[in-house]
Copies of this chain bind each other. A is one copy, B any other.
């Protein structure tokens, strides 16, 4: 880890503040919603930060916009590229479209059709790969070698983490006296941004991450004390399959109180409960925090808890409770 630590550029809280000013014209200050029913169910006071209403349908528009709009004119002209299981690809396409520069995304052919359509709708070019980490990375290396495009990693990038940090900056302004925040964890970009911001503006707020049991590499990493990466885990929470990387691991190991897990059934039940009671459309990944709160009531009871609803890009023709 020593060598990696020396070469890492770790974003600072100033980077979050600069990011927030930079991206304001391109993102929504999303609302915070509450539900009497879910408060009664959990015994906690839950404040849902609704990034499903964000531009491009997910919090990733924050980090992608920060990366795209911090590029020099020369770099921007060549364009940007990424690999992503969906929302980052879509968000980078959105941000590049706003700046008017080319964007290429490498995406598993198994990614939801809604996400592919949206990337193309924003003017992005898709190069398909197999749904494994190794195929994704090798395909991507080829794309970058050919185009010379600037790589914007979905999460292991200081510009992206600083951008994601603007979400909890807003949440902390919108809700007084928060005691805990729960965010889903895949690669750890949202969680790292949350750690970066809250450790500076409200260090007493405990940060929990929520992960599918079927893709619990981050939880096992935290308990083992080093990064554990699985290749292509299977979960309905398709945004959370990717592993931690050095930069996100830095934030997770230093600031996350615990990583809680939920089964596939618990995730789908929590998702349906949010749709039914809160009348919002959100992704399976975004339901993992509520699933872990319902499962671990003793941790959250009586507390004021921020819950990050990370995105709303779901394939309406293929909802998890309608699958055979």
Q: Which residues of A contact B (CB under 8 A)?
A: 31, 33, 52-53, 57, 114, 272, 275-276, 279-282, 312, 316-317, 319, 321-322
Q: Which residue among A276, A312, A317 has the maximum number of chain B CB atoms within 10 Å of its CB?
A: A276
Which of chain B's residues have a CB closer than 8 A to the CB of A275? 281, 316
Whole-angstrom CA separation of A317 from B322 in the bound complex:
7
- Known contacts A279-B280, A279-B281, A317-B321, then 9 further A-B pairs from the complex at CB < 8 Å, ordered by chain A residue: A52-B279, A57-B279, A114-B276, A272-B316, A275-B316, A276-B281, A280-B281, A281-B281, A316-B321
User: 8 shortest A-B CB distances, which residue pairs?
Assistant: A279-B312, A279-B281, A52-B279, A275-B281, A322-B322, A53-B279, A275-B316, A281-B281
> Could you say which residues of chain B place their CB within 8 Å of the CB of A279?
52-53, 57, 280-282, 312
Determine how close the nearest CB of chain B comes to the CB of A313; give it in whole angstroms: 9
Q: How far is the CA of A312 from the CA of B277 in the complex (A)?
A: 9
25 contacts between A and B (CB under 8 A): A31-B31, A33-B53, A52-B279, A53-B279, A57-B279, A114-B276, A272-B316, A275-B281, A275-B316, A276-B281, A276-B316, A279-B280, A279-B281, A279-B282, A279-B312, A280-B280, A280-B281, A281-B281, A316-B319, A316-B321, A317-B321, A317-B322, A319-B319, A319-B322, A322-B322
Shortest CB distance A272–B (Å): 6
A267 to chain B, nearest CB (A): 15
* Nearest B-chain residue to A37, judged by Cβ: B121
Minimal beta-carbon separation of A161 from chain B (angstroms): 25
The answer for the CA separation of A282 and B281 in the assembled complex, in Å, is: 10
Provide the residues of chain B in CB contact with A312, threshold 8 Å: 279
Across the interface, which residues of B come within 8 angstroms of A31, CB to CB?
31
